[in-house]
Structure formats: structure tokens, C-alpha cells
Amino acid sequence: MSLKRCFDPVVNQHTRILLLGSLPSEKSLVLHQYYGNPQNRFWHLVGEVIGVDLVRLDYQTRLSQLLHHGVGLWDVVASARRSGSLDSQIRDQAGNDIAALAASLPKLNAIGFNGGTAARHGLKQLGVLAERYRIVLLPSSSPAHTLAYDKKLEAWMGLKDYVG
């Protein structure tokens, strides 16, 4: 199993909600893009939340739109060994310093976890600091999580309170 590394955080001083995944998929790592696998529904779901068809936009414009709407991105796992893209295959992980990033964002009031693995690791990393933020547990946007899209969307639409 080769060592995989996450991407840099996508945030700015206007970030109000930080969406945290686990670790980029193989396809995302190759493309060097968050949620680069077109089967992953992340861009569809977040686009519905902010009212922008993100899927039709190029990657840099997607990121700009997220930032414009107060949405930041990062992963809870800084590096890990993993065969394939499944979270269940993550081994020897090192976590990102989510608490330090959160503390550096003056308008941050919510942290959303994209899936159970992100939530388990991220909440441990935040510890008692999690009490400072509204924590939003989201069904994974991954195609490996087979919950119907409309059910995922219903949960993700709860993010509307935190975006602008």
C-alpha cells in the first residue's frame, strides 16, 4: 500500500462552514482535485445547497464558488496508506490539525463531516473544541455509500443555514 496525502485546505477569512472528508480517492489524487471522481455526488449536493450548478464549472471556478458562499474544504486524514479508495482500507493514518485550522477562521461556526469515517476521526481530532461549532454529520457523497441521492440531498440541504 502506497502512502497517500491530502490536499491543502480550501478556506479564506469568510469561511463559515468547513466541510471535511476523509482522504481523497485514487481518481481525485490523480487529478489533484477534491472529489474528482465524477461518480462522487459531492459537487451535485453542495451545488444544490448553494444554488449553483457546480458540476458544469471547471474545478477552479467550483472552488471559487464555494469560497464565495462561505464553504471551505479539507480532509481529516493528512496521510495514510490505502489500497484503492475505500475508507475501510485506510491504515497508518496521520491526522490533520483541524483544531488549528478552525481557530484560524474567524467566521467559522459549523463543521460538516462528509461520511462516518470523516466524523469519527475528525471529532476525535477536535476533542472538546467541537463544542465551539455546530457539528453537521452528513451521509457520504461517495458512490460506495449506496443511500439514494434524494436521501443524501435531504440531509445535505441542512447546510443551507451556514452558507451565504
Total count of domains within the chain: 1
pTM: 0.90
Rounded to a whole number, what is the distance in angstroms from the first to the last CA of the chain?
A: 41
Decide if 96 is catalytic: no
Which CATH number goes with the domain that contains 112? Answer: 3.40.470.10
Of the residues 37, 40, 96, 114, only one is catalytic, namely: 40
Range(s) of the domain holding residue 71:
3-162
Per-residue pLDDT of the chain (164 residues; tens, 9 = 90+): 677 677 899 999 999 999 999 877 777 777 889 999 888 999 999 999 999 999 999 999 999 999 999 999 999 987 665 555 555 554 566 678 999 999 999 999 999 999 888 998 899 888 888 889 999 999 999 877 778 999 999 999 999 998 86
Whose CA is closest to 24, among 82, 66, 69?
Answer: 82
